[in-house]
Each structure stands twice: as C-alpha cells, then as structure tokens.
Structure 1
Amino acid sequence: MTGPMYYKGVYHLFYQYNPDGATFGHDQMVWAHSVSYDLINWIHLNNALVPSEPYDINSCFSGSATILPGEKPVMLYTGITDNRHQVQSLATPKNLSDPFLREWVKHPQNPVMIPPSGVEVNNFRDPSTAWLGKDGKWRVIMGAQNGDQGKLILYQSEDFINWKEGPNPFFATDNTGVCECPDFFPVSIHGRNGVDTSVQNPSVRHVTKTSYLTRQRDYYFLGKYVDDQDLFIPDTYFTGTSLDLRFDYGRFYASKTFFDPQKDRRILWGWVKEADTKQDDIDKGWAGLQTIPRQVWLDESGKKLIQWPIEEVEKRRGEHISINGEKLVSGSRIEVSGITASQADVEVIFEVPELESAELIESDRIDPQLLCSKEYALTSGVIGPFVTREGLLCGTILKKGHMELSLHPKLKTISLRVLIDHSIIESFGDEGRVCITSRVYPSLAIGKDAHLFVFNNGTQSISVSKLNAWSMKKAQINDEQTLK
C-alpha cells in the first residue's frame, strides 16, 4: 500500500507490484495505480512509478501521498539506488487537470533524503504522509533501523524539496528491528469524523503506527504530539506482548491511512498476505491483496481505535436472510442458508446469560494469534472450546486488554461482523474494537458448495439474539484500456 488519496472526485490506490512475477521482487518493484469513485469498484491504470534513475534503478519502494495547498498532490517514495542504498525521492503529477493523475514526473533534485548517521543504509524507507506544522514547515517520518533498534525519524522542510532531520528522536523501540511503513495521524476526541493529517489542537489525539518486519505485524500507539518540540509521547510503550495495540490480530501488514475530505473520515487499508506456499502463488499468478477499506476513529474510552467496513460495502449486499431468538445448546449449530456463503456479509449478536462466568485469558501470557494459528488447537471454556485451523476465525476469545464486551443493561451480548470473500475472512468483534483477518484455501467448500453455520462449542447454552446475512455482489475490476 502506497500513497492512497482522494483527488478531484477520484480515489487513488497505489501499491507495490512486481511486473515480472507473482511474488515480491527485490529488483524491479513498481508503483501500480488504480482509481475508483466509491472505493469498491476499481479501474487499473498504467504503472505510476517505475525504476529508471540511479536513485531508484533497483526498485521504487513504498511511500505516501500528500496534498499541498492549491490541491497539488505530491509523492515521496523510497528508491533503491544502484549501490543498494535506500533513499527518498519526490514525484509530482504531469497534468493536474487529469483527475486520474495518469502520469508522474520525478523531481530533478532527487534524491531529497539520504540515510543519516546512525541508520543502516539498507533500512531507511517508507516516508509517511506529510503534515504542516504551525511554523509553516512540513514534517514526515521515516522508518529506519540501527542494529536491532527500530526507529522513526522526523524530517522537516519549508518547500517539500529540501529536507533536514529533526532535532529530537521521534520514536524508537529496542529489539524490534526495522520500523516499516510508518503512519502518523490525528483522531478526534469527540465523534467519528476524521480530520486532516495537519490538524493540531486540543480536540484531537495522535496515533503513531509502525510495521515491524521481524514480527510481520502492525502496532499502533495512542499519545500526545508536542508540536513545538516534534515529540510524540505515547500513552504506553512497546512491550512485545499481546498487551500492545494492533489494528488487526490476523494476516494484516503494512497498513496505511488517509483522510477522505469527501466524507470527513479517516480510512485504513492493510495488506493481506498469503498463507499458502510460494509455489501456490506462482501457479495462480498473483499474491497478496488489500483489505476492505475501513473507517477508523477513537473509541469513547480513548484507549483504542475502532475500525468498521466503509459504508459503501453495504451497497454490494444482495440476497438477505435473518435469524432471531434461536437457542444454541452446547454442541449445536444452525445453517444460515439462502445466501452465497463464499461471498457474504454477516452481522450477529449472541446473547450470553451468564457471561460473567466465562474465564478470562490473561493478555500477557497467551497470544491469541499464536493460539489461533496452531492447526486444530483446542481451547476449552464456558464460551468455547474453540477448534482452530490456520486461516479460520478463532471464535470469540475473552481477553483482558483486547475485548471489552458491550453489555446490554439486562441481557449480556457479544457482537460480531464477518466479511467473507472466498479465501479472505475479515472479522470485527465488539463493534470493531477487535479485528482479525484470516486466509483459508478450501478445496471442497467452493462457490455453491460453501456453507455458513452458527455454532456453539461451549458448555453453556447461548442464543442468537439477531443475525443478518447477505450475499455480496462482485466488485467491478476493469483495465482502463478495455473501457475505451
């Protein structure tokens, strides 16, 4: 994911692409480019950035888009030089009147940033979206590494061309390795509306996000941004345990947000990696995809972020089935028939009469992702047990620090929304407070042979208070050349 943005009525998605193969290539990665009017249906365009100069001849790696005053988009991206160093370069649209921004021009002063002292030359990458400070200077943060310490380094510029390293360390974590794909953005303290990346006032808090390459996970930190010192003070520091906040506890990495001015919202995308073999990817001719775009905002508690599929997803809903008030005794299941289970949107509320009797799994002792990744792992419990396989949702895990259940004044309930799209399952627990993205590669449950069930493997009876499920229509994915 590189440089998502909204420009002249069009959403833009740039992404890492290997034109010579199905898997990641270290020598010829380019910026592919697609556009959309609704974030659901997409048109593929020609590649936006390709290796061509000494400063990016060995790949155009990730970066970000920023909209400068006067509605002028610019791109900062990482180039791999002829001597394998990582440097940052600038690109601008050739024709601002083209809403599709089909052509991009590399700046003659590239590279505009080179690895500073104390940073490994091959681990200095992925500039963030820039924000404008109260002093009129632009800021970006860079992912970096020094030994086993991961760093986020802040740079300043008055003209977006000449950049200088900031006076203070911005963010660092020990024993993590390189920080990739950093993101930094404000979230409103009141309400769900997003705000522009440059907003700095008492009505917002700030989020710093980093992707740790060695862990293949995205972590985020809520905190305070001291703008006159360019310091970020997180509420909590990285612990390396499951107490750390994450956007998603599944196969989700290298995420990116952008502010959507059309609907005043902040949108998050993540890279969903494959869970099969490299040869499988080569055989099918592609690997990896993006999640459904998610709107993100601050929970009322102020302690975590909430994510929810963008509203446009609901326009793809087709056949509908509902179940209300069905009791599920221990070991029972109900088939949700009448919809296409291989592409579905499911919202369900479970009523649990004695929720307080459910055991809590201590966050600092058990990692839910590791638990759910073990083939046929078994976790017994009152609301369980959960039989799991890699790629399948690990049921509802009650964990201190991760799932704060919304309780009805009289009835105790657990909510879940699941988006199913063949090999991808995106699950949103407790109204988006906990998210898990999974991959599953069925050999028999394909198309019309896929079935959807609601089940209870716990020792306690529960009820399906309300369930709504819809078949989902396919998105339209076209190549611009075929539309002419």
Structure 2
Amino acid sequence: MYWAHSVSHDLINWIHLDLAFAPTEPFDINGCLSGSATVLPGNKPIMLYTGIDTENRQVQNLAVPKDLSDPYLREWVKHTGNPIISLPEEIQPDDFRDPTTTWLEEDGTWRLLVGSQKDKTGIAFLYHSGDFVNWTKSDSPLHKVSGTGMWECVDFFPVWVDSTNGVDTSIINPSNRVKHLLKLGIQDHGKDCYLIGKYSADKENYVPEDELTLSTLRLDYGMYYASKSFFDPVKNRRIMTAWVNESDSEADVIARGWSGVQSFPRSLWLDKNQKQLLQWPIEEIEMLHQNEVSFHNKKLDGGSSLEVLGITASQADVKISFKLANLEEAEELDPSWVDPQLICSENDASKKGKFGPFGLLALASSDLREQTAIFFRVFRKNGRYVVLMCSDQSRLVFFNSIVS
C-alpha cells in the first residue's frame, strides 16, 4: 500500500503528483495505510499514518513536509523516531489503525483516536501528547461497543447545534453550542456509521445519545466507505469525502488498472433537531454545470416513460419533483423493515407497489439491458408517509413504471 498524492485549488479539478509515501522503512515496510492530517499552530501541516512494520504489526507513524514553502507539499519526510505509537499488548497485530486528525485541548495537550477491536468489541483508543511525538494511551478508550467488530477510519469532530457552519476540530464546547460526532467504519459490514453525543475533555469520555447498532445512523446507504472529513477555515465549513467501491468483477478491475473512485466532496452540518447529519455537495460542484435541459408538467401514468434528450455527459446533476395523487392509498410499511438498504435489495426496481417504483434510469442503453435505476417508493407508517430512495445496479431489471 502506497499513498498517492493529488492537489486541488477548488476540490473539483485535481493535479496528480508523485507518490507521497512508499513502504521504505522498518516501521512501514509492509504497507502505508490510512491516516490524517493536522495543521499545527504556525500553519504547519503534519501527517499521521498507519504503517505495517517488519513483524506485520500495525503501528502509527508521523511525517512532515520537506519544504513548507512548496504550496503543493510534494515531498514528505518520515520521522526518524517512528513508530510514535506502538501496538497495544492486548491487540492483534492487524487490528490497530487509521489515526484521526488530532485536536488541541485547553490544557495544551493533543488528543487523537486510533481504531481497533478486541474479541469483536469495537474500540476507539484515545491518546494524548504534549509535543506531538510522545503519545500516551488513556486508561479507558473514548468509546467501545461489543459485537461490532473492527472499527477503522475513525473520525471525530464537533458540530454546531445552532449553525450550518463547520467547526474547527479543536473547538470543544463553547457554552454548550457543540456536540461531537464519532464516525466509525464497521469493517465486518463495510458501513460508515456515526454517533452524536457529548464529549468531556476533563473526564476524557464520550457519551453518545443513542446506542451503536447495525440500524444506527449511516452516512450513506450506497457504496460509500472509509470517509474522512476536514474543516475548511476559508469557507467555514466541514467537508467529507469517501471511497466509492464498485460492483463490477475483479477481472474488470484488473483489466482497467484501478479500483474505486473518490466521492464528490460534501458539506456536513447538524439538523435543527440535533439528531442526524445533513449533507449537500459542495458549492464548487456547480462550476461543472453546462447545457441545462428542463421540462415541466409532464403526466406519467403507470407503465409510461419519458426520455430526457440533450444530455450526453457521463455525469449529470438532476433535480426532479414528482407530484402524486391519492397518497392515502399507499401501502403500510412492514414493521419488520428497519434497514432501508435491505428493503431496497429485497424490493428492487422490478417489484411493483402501489406507489413505486418511479424515478430515473441513468446510463441506460437503448435496449435498457444496461442501466442504473434510481427510484422511489412511498409507504404509510403511523399516520405519516415514508419515502424510500433506492438504487438498483443489477443492470438486468425491467420496469413497470419508470422515468428514463
């Protein structure tokens, strides 16, 4: 595993540079895994990353830019004293990785988290340091949950309770205006889940408002994993990107020479009820917009479709509004359906319901043998309506009622 390196002035157009890290030293000779950047006082960036050492143990390492005057920070120098954090005695060699962005406490010490597990208990180990080189593990993890397995690509950051702006990672709790979000990559299930709660710097503990389960809050129900956020001080926002895996075969991946892509960057903030994250593509995405195609007031009966002409790009930003009549006739949502992703997989775009599927066919061939269906279903639940949005990537689905 290597670290590739790309830079951007706008988070849309990227310049590929030479590799940043390669496995060259005893502390990372078997691979350079994920990590995080922190900007120290004086505008000095520093990188923490996981290395696999000569004994195949996951350890945490430090690197700094070779030339701070280089705006692209092309070259990085690994700390000669690596690893700065060794594998805890009770943890298996391959269960200790992905240090977070650090935060600075009022007492002048730095804190960071490292993901782990022991006997299927997911763990976020908490470390602190006064000089960023010598780190000490806290007596208790920041958080742990039995039965969840390995936690990787952990992220931990504050969110305002009364603003859509982002918050610097080192802001702790000014007048109770922030909560803290703990994001966890649940390796056994390939899901990015998160908890919202209160962090106490004095007690070094985190109290989430809800329990972590497989039906807990998800960042995304698509192929979205190993996400990482950062605070943008220029536009005062928190931005997240993630790895988007693909559903094609290993043979296709090998023939193509690459696997997976990075997601569109998205801004994050806490909803008004303080119960979940809201997300939206960053405003810079709009610079990609060209050749707008629009239409209004088209009536679609069951089984009918409408082809949208004039779009030839492989990427499209679609804004669509459906108006439905007689919603009181919608089906009752099955009480056993608690996982939206499972509902979508069991009721793909070929399964006709009272209100759905209806939506879009993207990247569809003229004979519809190849397509990606993005569709909706409407249900009733306890006197309210539940709208389910699904994506069907099986490519061999035929539809009763769909808009293409």
TM-score calculated relative to the size of structure 2: 0.89
Deviation at 1:46, TM superposition (A): 0.7
Tell me if the contact between 1:372 and 1:393 (Cα under 8 Å) persists in the aligned partners: no
Q: 1:67 aligns with which of 11, 36, 39?
A: 39
Does residue 285 (structure 1) correspond to residue 285 (structure 2)? The answer is no
- The Cα offsets for residues 394-413 of structure 1, whole Å up to 9 and x where unpaired, read as 52245799xx979xxxxxxx
1:33-54 deviation digits (Å, cap 9, x = unpaired): 0000010101001111111111
| Alignment partner of 1:229 is 2:203 | yes
Indicate the residue corresponding to 2:366 in structure 1. Answer: none
Q: Which residue of 1 aligns with 2:86?
A: 114
Whole-angstrom CA distance in 2 between matches of 1:441 and 1:329: 24
SS in 1 for 2:159: strand
Structure 1 residue corresponding to 2:376, chosen from 349, 371, 396: 396
Residues 411-426 of structure 1 mapped to structure 2, 5 A cutoff: none
2:5 is matched with which residue: 26, 33, 36? 33
Residues 1:35 and 1:341: Cα distance change in structure 2 (over 3 Å): closer
1:367 alignment partner, one of 331, 334, 339: 339
Question: Are the aligned partners of 2:227 and 2:242 in contact in 1 as well (CA < 8 Å)?
Answer: yes
- Kept in 1, the 8 Å contact 2:379–2:385? The answer is no
Aligned to 2:364: none
The one-letter code of the counterpart of 1:215 is H
Residue 383 of structure 1: how far off its partner (Å): 1.7
Is 1:457 aligned to 2:401, yes or no? yes
Asked whether 1:103 is paired with 2:75, we answer: yes
Q: Structure 2: 5+ residue runs without aligned partners?
A: 362-368
Report the counterpart of residue 270 of structure 1 in structure 2.
242
Q: Which residue does the alignment assign to 2:23?
A: 51
Provide the residue aligned with 2:189 in structure 1: 215
Q: Residue 285 of structure 1: CA displacement? A: 1.1
Query: Matched residues, percent identical?
Result: 48
Shift of 1:343: 2.0
Q: Please, which runs of 5 or more residues in structure 1 have no aligned partner?
A: 1-28, 407-413, 415-428, 443-454, 459-463, 470-484
Give the aligned CA root-mean-square deviation in angstroms: 2.9
Aligned counterpart, 1:299: 271
Q: Say which structure is richer in strand.
A: 1
Structure 1's 297 and 359: CA in aligned 2 closer, same or farther, altered over 3 A? farther
Q: 1:51 to 1:366 in 2, by over 3 A?
A: same
Q: CA deviation at 1:385?
A: 3.8
The answer as to 2:48 corresponding to 1:76 is yes
Higher normalized contact order (CA 8 Å, seq sep 6+, divided by chain length): 1
Distance 1:157 1:172 in 2: 21
Q: Would the aligned equivalents of 1:188 and 1:205 in 2 still touch at CA under 8 Å?
A: yes
Deviates more, 1:92-101 or 1:388-397: 388-397
Cα deviation per residue 1:1-43 (whole Å; 9 max; x = unaligned)? xxxxxxxxxxxxxxxxxxxxxxxxxxxx111100000101010
Contact conserved, 1:371 with 1:377, CA < 8 A, in 2?
Answer: no
Would the alpha carbon gap of residues 179 and 136 (structure 1) be closer, same or farther in structure 2, given more than 3 Å must change? same
**Normalization by structure 1: what TM-score?**
0.75
How far the C-alpha of 1:186 sits from its partner, in A, is: 0.8
Given the alignment of the two structures, is residue 352 of structure 1 paired with residue 324 of structure 2, yes or no? Answer: yes
SS at match of 2:286: helix
Query: How far off its partner does 1:326 sit?
Result: 2.0
Instruction: Give deviations 1:56-94, integer Å, cap 9, x for gaps.
Output: 000110000000100010001000001100000100011
Q: Is the 8 A contact 1:62 1:77 kept in 2?
A: yes
**1:390, 1:111 → 2: CA distance?**
49
2:64 equivalent among 92, 104, 129: 92
Matched residue, 2:131 = 159
